[in-house]
Homo-oligomer: A and B are copies of this chain.
Amino acid sequence: MSTHTIRDLGERALIARITARLGTASWVVVGPGDDAAVIAPERGALEVWTTDVQVEDVHFDRRFSPPDAIGHRALAVNLSDLAAMGARPRAALLSLVLPPALEVRVVDGLLDGFLALADRHRVTIVGGNISRSPGPLMIDVTAVGSVRPRRALTRASARPGDEVYVTGSIGDAAVGLASLRQGGTASLAAQQERYLRPEPRVRAGLLLGASRAASACMDLSDGLADAVRQVAAASQAGITLDADALPVAPDVRRWHEQNGHDAIQAVLAGGDDYELMFTVRRAHRGRLRHVVQHLGDLPLTRIGVVTRDRRVVVRTAHDERPVPDGFSHFE
C-alpha cells in the first residue's frame, strides 16, 4: 500500500478520511462539510486571527522532514503568532494544496503531527479546503485565538528603559536545519528536533499577556535580529542587546565556531526558533516573577534594554555592532 496515492483515493474519500479524525467543541455550530463553518465567538473576548503557510522546498524539505513534522510545523508557526499576541488558541482552518501523486500515508502523517499539536493546545479544526497542486506541497493554516480586552500584546508598546527578554534558547533550529541538510549529525539531534517540531510558547504568551508583565512581544520566526528590529521600529525606539547574555546552547556555539562563523552574528540572524522576545517595564519585574513561578521549566533570559537612541545594536566586552538583518523572502 506504500504507493497508494491521493489520486487513487479521490477527493471525496480524502476529505472523508481527514474529517473523520477531527473533533468538535460546544461552540462549533456548523463544522467541516458545509460551505463554511459557523462559530459562536467567546463572550467578552477579542479574537486574534493569523495565517501562515508552509511551502515545500521553501519552508521544508521532504528529504529530511518527516510528514508528521511538516504537519506539526504548519500549526506550530501559527500558534506561535497567537502566543506572541498573548492569545489562547481556539480554532484553525486547514488548507491543503497537494500534488496528485502524493502518497496517502504522507497525508496521514501530516495529520498525525498537526492533530497531536492541536490536541495538546485544545485547538478545534473547524474547516478547511483541499486543492490540487501542480508542483509543491503546501499547507496554509489560519488560526484563531481569544484574548481579554486590553490584554493583547503588540510590537509597538516597548518604551526606553524597558528590559528585553527571550524565552528558551536561541539559534538551535538554524543549526539543526544546517545539520539536517548535511545529512544529519546524531550529536545535534536536539537541535534538529527544535527545527523539525518547534514548540510554540503558548503558555508563556498567555501568562505574559494576562499578567500584564510584558509591554511588547513578538515571536522569533524570522530570527532574533529581525524581532528586535521590528519591535524597535514599531515602538519608535532602539534596542541594545548584551551578547554575553544570549541563551545559546554550548553545542550551538561550538558548531558555529567549528564552521568558522561569528557565533553571535549567526545566532542573531538564524530563524525558525519560535521563541518569544518581549519587553518588560522595570516597575513590572514583580509581575514577571509571577509569570516565572507559573511557567515551569521554560527559562526567561534578560538579554538587553530598550533605548531612546534608535540604533539596534549588540554589545560585547570588546565592541558594539549593528544587529544583522533577519531572513527575508525573495531576495
Residues of A within 8 A of B (CB): 6-7, 9-12, 14, 29-30, 33-41, 45-53, 55-59, 80-82, 84-85, 87, 91, 93, 95, 97-98, 100, 126-136, 138, 140, 142, 144-145, 147, 152, 154-156, 217-219, 234, 328-331
10 cross-chain pairs, A with B, having the tightest CB-CB distances, nearest first:
A36-B50, A41-B41, A135-B135, A35-B84, A142-B142, A35-B81, A11-B329, A140-B140, A132-B329, A57-B134
Q: Check if A152 sits within 8 Å of B29, measured CB to CB.
A: yes
Bound CA span A216–B97, Å: 29
Which residues of chain B are near A130, meaning CB under 8 Å? 329
Most buried by B among A37, A144, A218, A330: A330
Q: How far is the CA of A59 from the CA of B132 in the complex (A)?
A: 9
Q: With the chains together, A51 CA to B51 CA distance in Å? A: 11
Q: How far is the CB of A40 from chain B (nearest CB, A)?
A: 6
CB contact under 8 A between A133 and B136, given known A12-B328, A35-B81, A37-B50:
yes
A52: chain B residues within 8 A (beta carbon): 95, 129
Q: Closest Cβ of chain B: how far from A140's Cβ, in Å? A: 4
Check B330 against A132 for contact (C-beta < 8 Å): yes
Give the chain B neighbours of A128 by CB distance below 8 A: 51
CB pair A95 B51 closer than 8 Å: yes
Copies of this chain in its oligomeric complex: 2
Bound Cα distance A234, B48 (Å) = 32
Q: Please determine whether A97 and B55 come into contact, CB atoms closer than 8 angstroms.
A: yes
Q: In the bound complex, do residue A36 and residue B48 qualify as a contact, i.e. CB atoms below 8 Å apart?
A: yes
Contacts of A53 in B (CB 8 A): 95, 97, 129, 131, 140
Contact of A330 among B10, B57, B81, B93 (CB under 8 A): B10
Closest chain-B Cβ to A108's Cβ sits at a distance in Å of 16
Q: Would B82 and A36 count as touching, CB distance under 8 A?
A: yes
Instruction: Answer whether A49 and B37 are a contact pair too, CB < 8 Å, given A55-B97, A132-B55.
Output: yes
Alpha-carbon separation in the docked complex, A36 to B65 (Å) = 27
Contact check, B93 vs A7: say whether CB atoms are below 8 A apart.
no
Q: Are B14 and A58 touching (Cβ within 8 A)?
A: no
| Residue among A10, A46, A100 with the highest chain B CB neighbour number at 10 A | A46
Q: How far is the CA of A49 from the CA of B34 in the complex (A)?
A: 11
Known: A85-B35, A134-B56, A152-B38. Is A93-B11 also a contact (CB below 8 A)?
Answer: no
CB distance from A156 to the nearest CB of B (A): 8
Q: A59 — which chain B residues lie within 8 A by C-beta?
A: 131
* CA A260 to CA B135, docked complex, whole Å: 34
Given A7-B330, A35-B50, 12 other A-B residues pairs in contact with their CB atoms under 8 A: A11-B328, A29-B46, A35-B217, A36-B50, A36-B82, A37-B48, A38-B85, A38-B152, A39-B49, A51-B93, A55-B132, A136-B136
- Would B46 and A140 count as touching, CB distance under 8 A? no
CB distance from A182 to the nearest CB of B (A): 21
Q: Give the shortest distance, in Å, between A93 (CB) and chain B (any CB).
A: 5
